[in-house]
Structure 1
Amino acid sequence: MNNFYQAKKEAYFISTDPSLLNIEVIHHFLAFETHWAKDVPVSIVEKSIAGSLCFGVYHQQHR
């Protein structure tokens, strides 16, 4: 049994399940598209996610 929050509304799904997060996409955005986390290593992103309550928002066409 998990203790993750999940909700659906129309074509969108929100979840706190970290296994649904796409680490590669998150890392690429932070390392290459932001100035505050430029060149952040993927290991730091993984550690940050592991120690945080993350909310992912997903569109049904992309799940």
Structure 2
Amino acid sequence: MPEYFHISSDKAKLDINTITDYLIKQSYWANDRTEDVIRKSIANSCCFGMYNEAGEQVGFARVVTDMSVFAWLMDVFILEDHRGRGLCKQLIGEIISYPEFKDIMKWGLGTRDAHELYKKFGFTSLSNPEVMMERKIE
């Protein structure tokens, strides 16, 4: 019998230790963040946890948004032991179709290696990258 997974936007269910451990020790994009920075980013974002039948967190993503014009998808991951089952597709699909996000006009994200995954949800390369800028504090 296949294992059942569910997604929740309830921040009280998030396993902060699992999230911080993954982001700091296993991700390429957040390994320079501190636990305090991660906690603050979670507190100020819309977060989604993915859980197995036992209620253990196996995935995570967060969205920074004004709920109308723009949303930035961040920190998407599925723990190594649970990959290859389509869980990331399920997580992203749930986020994109989340009722509170229905009016968002533009989504953004950054990825080094998952372009094909995100293309399945309508993400494309920037149409006008020459108008985009960033301010990076190092």
- Structure with greater helix share of residues: 1
Cα drift, residue 13 of structure 1: 1.9
- The one of the two structures with greater contact order (alpha-carbon pairs below 8 A, sep at least 6) is 1
Structure 1: how far apart are the matches of 2:18 and 2:48?
A: 15
TM-score by length of 1: 0.73
TM-score by length of 2: 0.36
- Structure with greater strand share of residues: 2
- In the alignment, structure 2 segments of 5+ residues that lack a partner are 57-138
Residue 29 (structure 1) aligned to one of 22, 43, 47: 22
Secondary structure at the aligned position of 2:31 is classed as: coil
Structure 2: how far apart are the matches of 1:35 and 1:58?
A: 23
Partner deviation per Cα, 1:15-52 (whole Å, 9 max, x = no partner) = 10001111111101111111211131111111000111
Secondary structure at the aligned position of 1:61 is classed as: coil
- In the alignment, structure 1 segments of 5+ residues that lack a partner are 1-9
Identity level (%):
37
